[in-house]
Amino acid sequence: MAKKLSLVFSAAALLLSGCAGLTNLTPERMPENSSGLYTLSMSAHINDGSIVPGSIEPFIVIDEKTIPMKTVKNLENERIYEYDYRLPKGRKGAKYYFTLKYKVKNTVESEEQERTLTSPTVYTLEPVRRYVVTIQSERGPVGTVVPVLGRGFDKLDKIVIGGVPADTEYVSRATINFTVPPLKSGEDYEVKLVGSDGDMWIGQFRVDAAEMQVSPKKIDIKSGEIVNVIFGIGFTAPEGGYPIDVKTNIPSSVIMDEAVVPEGRSSVSVALKGGAEGEGFLYIQGVGFDEVKIPVSVKSSQPKDELLSGVSEAVNEIDSAEGGEPAEAEKAPAGGENPEISKPDASAK
């Protein structure tokens, strides 16, 4: 029904123009099909009012043959005609044009005259081997798997979004999937299908912000202790890996290597070591992700009493080395002499 309506509208446009002639109604791009059959159609507009009934004969000239065309069913009064052409195997296309013969009656001389209309140009039928019907989703976060439906896909096809190659999975000749690569969120990007036959624009995709998974959600450690922080991005890291930007407002308290999710993996574990005592946050960001803030608390590895005692001992050692008075604990008993040292003998004078 949709096809018939399209043909009627096209024919109506020609009638409104007031010009006699033949109009090609065949789509410019026809998808390749397994049967190799393609419907070629035209409409005819004839200004002559004295057409002999039943005298109209539509033809298509293709492969150097002139072949009669059929009137489209239920559209007899619209003068729309079609022909199902089978493209020979091994052929990529064919050239064709239309002709239409009819007779008019000369009311003055009471004679019939034959007339012919011919297409204004030669047309080319070249079925499209590959085409895209639709992208199944028009938006999503980084890491989303998006199906693309069409025809003629092969294992060499790749999807490029915003100029960045996306991981592409070949499912069948009619379906491929791509994973949204790391791109800045909140923006629209052009999507292209890239293959051995060249590039094809297939639509636009909007990247929404994603949420990175970080564990633990809160870090409480002592100086010198180590905790493993796990970063999960929810998709397979692309070639070269996926870098994660980690910052902190207590740099003297946090000792940590760079975080990069290795290629082919979806998470990474990075060791974090407690440094100087302090409290603050880790600020974690990645392309296409919202910022994640993780509270961090680093305490001293010694209790305060032990720490103060250690400081006191260190001060005493420094004083002794400089000739100062020893600490109370090291002085001789008050009012007496050191019991380990004997008095000198008076008779020795």
Mean per-residue pLDDT, 101-111? 81
Lowest mean pLDDT among 135-139, 161-165, 321-325, 338-342: 338-342
More confident residue, 322 or 41: 41
Overall average pLDDT of the 181-203 stretch: 91
Residue 165 φ/ψ, nearest 5 degrees = -60, 135
What gap in Å lies between CA 87 and CA 125, rounded to an integer? 9
Distances (CA, A) of 17 to 11, 84, 130, 318: 10, 28, 35, 109
What pLDDT score does 152 carry?
A: 83
Average the pLDDT over 230-237 and give the result. Answer: 93
- Write out pLDDT tens, residues 30-75: 888 878 899 999 999 988 778 888 899 999 999 999 999 999 988 7
Nearest Cα to 161, choosing from 134, 133, 189, 184?
A: 189
Q: What is the pLDDT of residue 31?
A: 81
Report d(CA 21, CA 16) in Å as an integer.
13
Tell me, what's the pLDDT at 28?
A: 83
Segment among 104-108, 164-168, 210-214, 283-287 with least mean pLDDT:
104-108
Ordered by start, the domain boundaries in the chain are: 2-125, 131-208, 213-299
Check residue 344 and give its pLDDT. Answer: 38
**CATH code for the part of the protein at 131-208:** 2.60.40.10
Q: Stretch 245-252: mean pLDDT, rounded?
A: 96
| Residue 346 scores a pLDDT above 50 | no
Q: Pick the residue with more confidence: 301 or 343? A: 301
Task: Specify the CATH number for 213-299; select among 2.60.40.10, 3.40.50.720, 3.30.390.50, 2.40.37.10.
Answer: 2.60.40.10
The predicted pLDDT at position 190 comes to 96
The strands making up 80-86's β-sheet, listed across from edge to edge, are 21-24, 37-45, 80-86, 70-71
Whether the predicted pLDDT of 332 surpasses 50: no
pLDDT averaged over the chain? Answer: 83
pLDDT at 15: 41
118-155 pLDDT, tens digit each:
999 999 999 887 777 789 999 999 999 999 998 888 89
CA distance 264 to 235: 9
The answer to whether domain 131-208 and domain 213-299 are alike in fold is yes
Rounded distance between C-alpha atoms, residue 274 and residue 227, angstroms: 8
- With a pLDDT cut of 90, the percent of the chain lying above it is 58
Average pLDDT value for residue range 278-284: 97
Class of domain 2-125: mainly beta
pLDDT in tens, 1-39: 444 444 444 444 444 444 578 999 998 888 888 788 999
Max avg pLDDT among 4-18, 187-201, 323-337:
187-201
